């Protein structure tokens, strides 16, 4: 089955004032849509058609960079829409997440700082991540469409730090975007869901 662009799980206005309607319209309707349509074109004839997305992401990494860029970004954005919700963020994480954050990352404040720092210091386009590796939480950053899947870990939370994700609302202030995103938009229930699936 061909890749498909999902609807956003909320209205285009739902994440204001932290992420505008205009940003979501461009980001979802134009950018994510382009990853889907170009991915569907480039996968044709590779033998990967119809395979699960995660498998296509892992198999194209390194072997077919043109395809990987599209399917990696399709995977990342599918989750990105769900990693946000209106009235998200906050420091009271679900218990199972808080336990690992305390044990592996030195507590919530250090986790928040490390995540924002990862996104801020990612040179050029890319992503900041909370990932699960060998049962432990890890903060990572990746360039372009890469994600923890192709580095031996499972993505649990990712923030898009491509300019298309923040330039309309924050201009060049990427750290401000990351802070607002982390404090007001993160859907911790979805992070928990992914953790429970992976653990």
CB-based contact 186:83 (threshold 8 Å): yes
Within 13 Å and on the Cβ side, how many CA atoms surround 111?
24
Please state the closest distance from residue 35 (CB atom) to Fe ion, in A.
Answer: 8
> What's CA 104's distance to the chain center, in Å?
21
CA distances from 45 to 35, 38, 161 (A): 18, 14, 32
Q: Specify the residue, 160 or 179, whose C-beta has the smaller distance to Fe ion.
A: 160
Q: At what angle do helices 33-43 and 65-82 cross, to 10 degrees?
A: 140
CB 33 within 8 A of CB 8: no
* 31 annotated as belonging to a binding site for a ligand: no
Considering the complex, what minimum distance in angstroms separates the CB of residue 47 from Fe ion?
28
Work out how close the CB of 174 gets to Fe ion at its nearest, in angstroms, rounded to a whole number.
13
Question: What is residue 75's three-state secondary structure?
Answer: helix
d(CA 32, CA 80): 10
Residue 36: in which H helix or E strand, if any? Answer: helix 33-43
The residue (of 94 and 175) whose beta carbon lies closer to Fe ion is 175
Which residue number, 22 or 99, has a Cβ lying nearer to Fe ion? 22
Q: What is the DSSP string of 80-120?
A: HHHTB-TT---S---HHHHHHHHHHHSSHHHHHHHHHHHHH
The answer to whether 160 is a known ligand-binding residue is yes
Nearer to Fe ion, 5 or 98 (CB): 5
Check whether 164 is labelled as a binding-site residue. yes
Which CB atom, from 115 or from 162, has the smaller least distance to Fe ion? 162
Binding site for Fe ion (CB under 5 A): 160, 162, 165
Smallest distance, Fe ion to C-beta of residue 176, A: 18
Provide, rounded to whole angstroms, the least separation between the CB of residue 148 and Fe ion: 16
Between the two ends of the chain, the Cα-to-Cα distance in Å is 28
- The answer to the question of whether 74 is labelled as a binding residue is no
Binding-site residues for Mn(2+), please? 27, 77, 160, 164
């Amino acid at each position: 089955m061909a890749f498909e662009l999902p609807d956003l799980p909320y209205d285009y206005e739902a994440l204001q004032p932290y992420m505008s309607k205009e940003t979501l319209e461009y980001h979802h309707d134009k950018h994510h849509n382009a990853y889907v349509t170009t991915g569907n074109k480039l996968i044709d004839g590779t033998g990967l058609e119809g395979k699960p997305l995660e498998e296509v992401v892992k198999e194209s990494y390194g072997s077919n960079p043109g395809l990987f860029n599209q399917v990696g970004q399709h995977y990342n954005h599918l989750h990105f829409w769900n990693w946000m919700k209106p009235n998200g963020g906050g420091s009271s994480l679900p218990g199972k997440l808080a336990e690992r954050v305390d044990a592996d990352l030195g507590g919530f404040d250090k986790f928040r700082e490390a995540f924002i720092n990862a996104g801020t210091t990612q040179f050029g386009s890319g992503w900041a991540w909370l990932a699960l590796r060998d049962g432990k939480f890890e903060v990572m950053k990746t360039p372009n469409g890469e994600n923890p899947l192709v580095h031996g870990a499972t993505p649990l939370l990712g923030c898009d730090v491509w300019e298309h994700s923040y330039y309309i609302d924050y201009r060049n202030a990427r750290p401000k975007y990351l802070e607002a995103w982390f404090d007001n938009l993160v859907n911790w229930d979805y992070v928990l869901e992914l953790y429970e699936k992976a653990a």
